[in-house]
Structure 1
Amino acid sequence: MKTIKLLALLFISTLAISCSNDDDGHGDDHDSEEELITTVVYTLTNNADNTDVVTLTFTDLDGEGGADGTYDISGPLTANATYTGGIKLWNATENPAEDITEEVEGEADEHEFFYSNTAGLTITKTDVDGNGNPVGIETTIATGSAATGSITVILKHEPTKPNNGTSSDAGGSTDVEVTFSIEVQ
């Protein structure tokens, strides 16, 4: 029995070491260093009226733990409409600002956005990774009747794929999480 326990401990130790080597950038071509995300821009364009564009922007230039970030919502969503959405992530501490969305797209199998809301919206991810699993850089949003509420956007790194569509089921680590107050008119 003692031999089995020692073998199990050795096996678990080997797994922990090989997993940590994947994350330190030394055993593969992936740049696994966590990127600073200072800005999230979620742009929603009404499919029936391309002049109806709503932009949800979060900015936190000093990162987590410093001053609170700021939110800017350009206007209300139209009731009973369908919007095409696209999300962009930036590191504005670089000059010029670094487009983090490119990295997420390049490592789509290791990332997934999750959306939840309290305004009666239906949010659907419309892009997929190389394995056919949702990514969520591109979305559609169907609004219902007039309402107020919020949209929460979460980007997970190394989530379980496939999953049940919720960030809690996906596991992984959270790269960014922001909640926008919205209005549907």
Structure 2
Amino acid sequence: MYEPLLKHLARFIRITESEREILISNLRYKKVDKKGYLLKQGQICSGNFFVLSGCVRMFTITANGTEQIVQFGITGWWISDYHSFENNVPSDYYIQAVEDSEIAIITRSVCDDLFQQIPQLNNYFRKMMQRAYVASLKKIELLLCTSAEDRFHQFTTDFPEFVQRIPQYMLASFLGFTPEFLSMLRAKNKSVNNS
């Protein structure tokens, strides 16, 4: 059941068989139906969530009442509200399944013990945080320094299978424009590709 997580770990660190057993015994498994929640705004985030299968999104509701997606998590990705998780404060975000998903959870209650029992996990999560930080900077750069059309082309080039997988309005929210604008871009691309 946890094979995708164990394979992901093996790409970055080596753990012993006994450490692997300790990790597995401390993980929680959760099946989340499409549109089900791992976290709702106002709750304290109690876990680091690894997507074993499926797709989830992290979003907030803006002052004008629209959803703003800040992150997706697909198979093999971690997702969490780390501010809420680390500081034990209510979250500003929702984490919701975009499709039926299976999640491995490391809860706050076992996190520190796991890091002591499996020191290599510290290295692993440091690497994951570094990767997340780089991805965040890249997204900020795209939002601030490129046109909406260039953002769309960059994202569809980098993640073509992902673009086909998520609803259009969610892609638009993530990229920072309206679904109508995204429809216009797709129509424009289609006409260019057909000429």
Q: TM-score with structure 2 length normalisation?
A: 0.24
Flag the structure with larger Rg: 1
Specify which structure has the higher proportion of helix: 2
Q: TM-score with structure 1 length normalisation?
A: 0.25
